[in-house]
Each structure stands twice: as structure tokens, then as C-alpha cells.
């Protein structure tokens, strides 16, 4: 009795063991706050998840919604996640016996001489059989459980990769949308200046015809007009490219959004204070860090899968069924069959190969650890860079706005002085050229400030929380909601 109990408890103990290292999430020390966070940022609050809603732009909201549902990169990431989840489900079946049903029919014709040597001398024989086969490997050393652990971590890593793809896509949609509005603003500035410069050219031409102007003034006015006209075509091309990019990001063909997005709209106002949290929040929030950490967990579990090959594998093979010479006799008394075949296999003379595989598994885990630590450092670097860039962009915007206001006043005064005969037309042209450059820089600076804010949200890992999973088929080529 005691012997049987000892054997039973020993088997249970072995079944509860799993060879190989147990995984523990690495501890990464981080600073208490971001060094680049200043008055623009609130380090006490966590970053806004659906950051694009802060701009109160219905067109942008519609584009992001469509992209989250129909973007092809997200559909690819979803397919990989579904595949990883299915692989995890498949691995769990290895804990139970594999049972299959089989049935067959065999007809055999023997040579006459061979049949004569058999009692009864039957040359033609038939055999019908049906039954169930089972194979079961006992997981004494945890190889199957370690494999399930690895597959589970793979699925979690794939899910985090999907969320990271959502961060990237939402940020790219918002950045491209702001670039589009900025390009349209620059184009509007250029076109307004073309109208003003064409009026100046007409004025100088009229003065030349009336004998009160010079050909020099006319030539300079024509040169400035032509220079401004030359900037329009590249801006129009940039606008078209941004619209094409937004169309593809939302799962549509490139020209699908040309009509709804062609009308010029101003850049939405930016929030004055931005919640960024702290570095510890960042490590918990960024899905690329989670994906890397889960990949490390999977590779650590696979060390145990490799180590288990150092120990014997215990397998039970069995079958039950019926076999008879006639199909209607299956199940009758005397037709039953049964097979029970326990077995042990062990790489006794191939241990060197197993140890080499273990070394390879440990090396992969070491590499995954380095990747995880590198991912954390790059995330911190990206965030610090984004915070500093956006803060400096805001400062630059203030100076550029002052320059644009001052150049506008100067251009107005130069025109008045010219009309009063105080200065020549060259001063007017120079003031208008300076005004054009300042207004163009202002439009570009507003765009840079807005896109740098998107970079902050992307670095903080915003955009995936509460985001819907993409559809298996793309959204129809409909127009987004516009203001």
C-alpha cells in the first residue's frame, strides 16, 4: 500500500514539475519624470488615449475611425494575432490523448501455391475493421506545458504588436492630416500673394505706359510674380500626395478622398497643456515594449522545451475496435480487438545534440532580453526627443507669428509710402517678398508644431486604448465626415 502511494505521489510530483527557468519580468530602472517635460506638459496625469479627439475636428475623427477599421497594416497584424492565438489553442490539446477514428476494408488474393500451404487453402480473403486509436505522451517534465507557456506569450506579443500598429496608424493619419491642412494653408498664402503681385505688376505696367514708371520696376514685379507662381505647383502636388496617403491609410484607393479633402480648412487649435505622465507609466502603456517583453517570456519558456529532451518521454499507444471478414459481422462476439503499448524514448546517445539545442534556446532568450532592454531605451529616447522638439516648436511658432505680423505691417506701410511718392517701388517689392516668406514660414511652423505634438502622443503610446479591432474586409470607399 505504501509502495503504491509513493509511486502515485511521485508521478503527481513529476507531473507538476516543469524543467527549465521560470520567467520573471526584468526590472528596468527609469527616472521619476521626463527631463524634457516643462510648463507645456503635465507629468501628473496620464496621456490621453484617444488623443485625436482633443482637436475637435470631425474630419480627423472620421479618418482615424475609418483607419482603425480598415487599414491594411492593421488587418495584417490582426491576422497574425489570430494565427498566434490559434497556435496557442492547438498546443493545449497536447496535454490530452490524441484520439482518432479509423475504418478500413482489405481484400487479398494469394498465389495458389501459397494458399495451399495455409490451413483451409483460402486464396481470396476480405477483412473489415473499425475502431479508435489513441496516443498520449505524459508530460512528466513539463515540455508540453512549457510549450503552452511559450505559445501563450507569443499570442500576447502578437496582440501587443497589433496595438502598436494601431498607435502607428493613428499617429500617421493625424500627422498626414495636419500636413495636408498646413500645405493647403501654404498654398492659400501663395495664391493670395499671386493676386497681390499680379496687381502690382499691372500697376507698374500702367505707370510705365503712362511715363511715370521704369522698366526696372516692371521687370522686378514680373520676376517676383513668377517666383511665387513657381511655388504653387509643388504645393499642389504635396496636397495631392497627402490626400492619396490618407485614402490608402483608411483602406481606400488613392483618389477616393480627393473631393471631401480638397477644400482648405485651417489647422485645429492645439491644447495648451499636455498630459504625459511619467516614465514608469510609459513602460506600462507602450505596446511595443509589451510585445518585446512577451517575446522574451516566450523564448524563456522555450528553454524549458529544449531542456525536457534531456529526460525520457513516456508515451501510451492504444487502440480498440472490431475486425471481421464481413461488414455486417463487425461488433459480433469474437470480433473485438485491443492494443495497449506503453513506451519510453530517450535521447541517450544523442545528448550532445540536445545540449546544443538548449544552448541555442538560451542564446535566443539572451537576444530577446537585449531587444527588450533596447526597446525600453529607444522608447525613452523617442519620448524625450518628442517632448523637446514640440516645446521648441511652440517657442519658434511664437517668434514666427511675431515676424509675420511685423512683416505685414511693413508691407502695408511700404505700399502707403510708395503711393505717397516717398519711396520707389523696389521697397514695396522687398517688403512684400519678406511678408510672403514670413507668412509661408508661419504656415510651415504651425504644421511643424502640430506634427511634433502628434510625435509626442505616438511616443507616449497613445491611440490603442479602447480602439476597435479592424474589420476582416476593408471599409467601403465612402467620404469621411467633414466640418
Return per-residue pLDDT of the chain as tens, 483 residues: 455 445 444 544 454 578 999 999 998 888 888 887 777 777 767 767 788 988 999 999 999 999 999 999 999 999 999 999 999 999 999 999 999 998 888 888 878 777 666 776 677 878 888 999 999 999 999 999 999 999 999 999 999 999 999 999 999 999 999 999 999 999 998 998 888 888 888 888 887 888 877 888 788 889 988 988 999 999 999 999 999 999 999 999 999 999 999 998 989 988 887 888 888 888 888 999 999 999 999 999 999 999 999 999 999 999 999 988 888 888 888 888 999 999 999 998 899 999 999 999 999 999 999 999 999 999 999 999 999 999 999 999 999 999 999 988 988 888 888 777 787 777 877 888 888 888 889 999 999 999 999 999 999 888 777 677 787 655 554 455 544
Q: Give 8: exposed, middle or buried? Use CB within 10 Å, 0-12, 13-18, 19+.
A: exposed
Cβ-contact 167, 464 below 8 angstroms: yes
Predicted pLDDT at 3: 52
The answer to whether residues 294 and 369 touch, using CB atoms and an 8 Å cutoff, is no
The predicted pLDDT at position 482 comes to: 45
DSSP bridge partners of 136: 316
Tracing cell 524625450 back to the chain, one arrives at: 384
Domain range summary for the chain, segments of one domain joined by +? 19-96+142-311+351-459
Q: Which three cell numbers stand for residue 65?
A: 475611425
Positive or negative, the CA dihedral 172, 174, 179, 181 is positive
How far apart, in whole angstroms, are the C-alpha atoms of residue 480 and residue 483?
Answer: 10
Task: Supply the pTM of this predicted model.
Answer: 0.84
DSSP per-residue codes, 247-294: HHHTTS-TTTTHHHH-S--PPPPPPSSEE---HHHHHHH-HHHHHHHH
Round to whole Å and give the CA distance between 173 and 257: 13
Q: What is the CATH number of domain 19-96+142-311+351-459?
A: 1.20.1600.10
**Residues 6 or more apart from 197 whose CB is under 8 A from it?**
221, 224, 225, 228, 432
For residues 157 and 392, the answer to whether their CB atoms sit within 8 Å is no
Q: Report the C-alpha gap between 174 and 54 in whole angstroms.
A: 12
Amino acid at each position: 500500500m505504501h509502495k503504491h502511494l509513493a509511486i502515485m505521489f511521485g508521478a503527481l510530483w513529476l507531473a507538476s514539475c516543469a524543467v527549465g527557468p521560470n520567467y520573471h519580468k526584468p526590472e528596468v530602472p527609469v527616472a521619476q519624470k521626463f527631463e524634457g517635460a516643462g510648463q507645456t506638459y503635465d507629468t501628473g496625469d496620464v496621456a490621453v488615449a484617444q488623443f485625436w479627439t482633443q482637436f475637435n475636428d470631425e474630419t480627423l475623427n472620421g479618418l482615424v475611425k475609418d483607419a482603425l477599421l480598415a487599414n491594411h497594416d492593421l488587418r495584417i497584424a490582426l491576422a497574425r494575432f489570430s494565427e498566434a492565438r490559434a497556435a496557442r489553442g492547438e498546443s493545449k490539446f497536447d496535454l490530452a490523448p490524441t484520439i482518432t477514428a479509423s475504418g478500413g476494408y482489405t481484400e487479398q488474393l494469394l498465389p495458389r501455391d501459397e494458399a495451399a500451404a495455409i490451413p483451409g487453402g483460402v486464396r481470396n480473403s476480405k477483412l473489415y475493421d473499425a475502431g479508435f486509436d489513441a496516443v498520449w505522451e505524459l508530460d512528466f517534465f513539463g515540455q508540453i506545458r512549457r510549450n503552452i507557456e511559450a505559445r501563450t506569450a507569443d499570442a500576447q506579443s502578437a496582440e501587443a504588436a497589433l496595438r502598436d500598429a494601431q498607435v502607428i496608424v493613428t499617429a500617421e493619419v493625424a500627422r498626414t492630416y495636419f500636413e495636408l491642412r498646413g500645405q493647403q494653408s501654404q498654398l492659400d498664402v501663395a495664391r493670395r500673394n499671386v493676386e497681390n503681385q499680379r496687381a502690382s505688376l499691372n500697376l507698374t505696367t500702367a505707370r510705365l505706359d503712362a511715363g511715370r514708371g521704369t522698366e526696372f520696376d516692371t521687370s522686378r514685379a514680373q520676376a517676383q510674380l513668377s517666383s511665387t507662381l513657381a511655388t504653387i505647383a509643388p504645393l499642389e502636388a504635396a496636397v495631392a500626395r497627402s490626400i492619396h496617403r490618407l485614402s490608402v491609410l483608411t483602406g481606400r484607393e488613392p483618389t477616393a478622398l480627393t473631393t471631401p479633402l480638397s477644400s482648405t480648412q485651417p489647422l485645429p487649435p492645439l491644447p495648451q497643456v499636455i498630459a504625459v505622465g511619467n516614465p514608469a507609466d510609459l513602460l506600462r502603456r507602450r505596446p511595443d515594449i509589451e510585445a518585446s517583453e512577451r517575446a522574451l517570456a516566450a523564448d524563456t519558456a522555450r528553454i524549458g522545451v529544449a531542456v525536457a529532451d534531456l529526460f525520457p518521454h513516456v508515451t501510451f499507444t492504444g487502440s480498440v475496435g472490431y475486425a471481421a471478414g464481413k461488414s455486417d459481422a463487425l461488433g459480433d462476439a469474437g470480433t473485438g480487438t485491443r492494443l495497449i503499448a506503453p513506451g519510453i524514448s530517450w535521447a541517450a546517445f544523442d545528448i550532445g545534440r540536445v545540449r546544443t539545442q538548449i544552448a541555442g534556446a538560451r542564446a535566443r532568450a539572451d537576444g530577446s532580453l537585449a531587444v527588450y532592454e533596447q526597446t525600453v531605451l529607444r522608447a525613452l529616447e523617442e519620448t524625450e526627443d518628442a517632448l523637446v522638439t514640440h516645446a521648441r516648436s511652440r517657442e519658434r511658432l511664437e517668434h514666427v507669428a511675431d515676424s509675420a505680423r511685423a512683416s505685414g505691417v511693413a508691407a502695408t506701410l511700404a505700399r502707403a509710402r510708395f503711393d505717397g511718392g516717398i519711396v520707389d517701388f523696389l521697397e514695396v517689392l522687398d517688403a512684400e517678398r519678406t511678408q510672403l516668406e514670413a507668412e509661408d514660414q508661419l504656415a510651415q511652423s504651425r504644421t511643424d508644431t502640430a506634427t511634433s505634438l502628434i510625435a509626442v502622443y505616438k511616443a507616449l503610446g497613445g491611440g490603442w486604448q479602447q480602439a476597435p479591432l479592424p474589420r476582416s474586409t476593408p471599409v467601403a470607399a465612402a467620404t469621411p465626415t467633414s466640418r
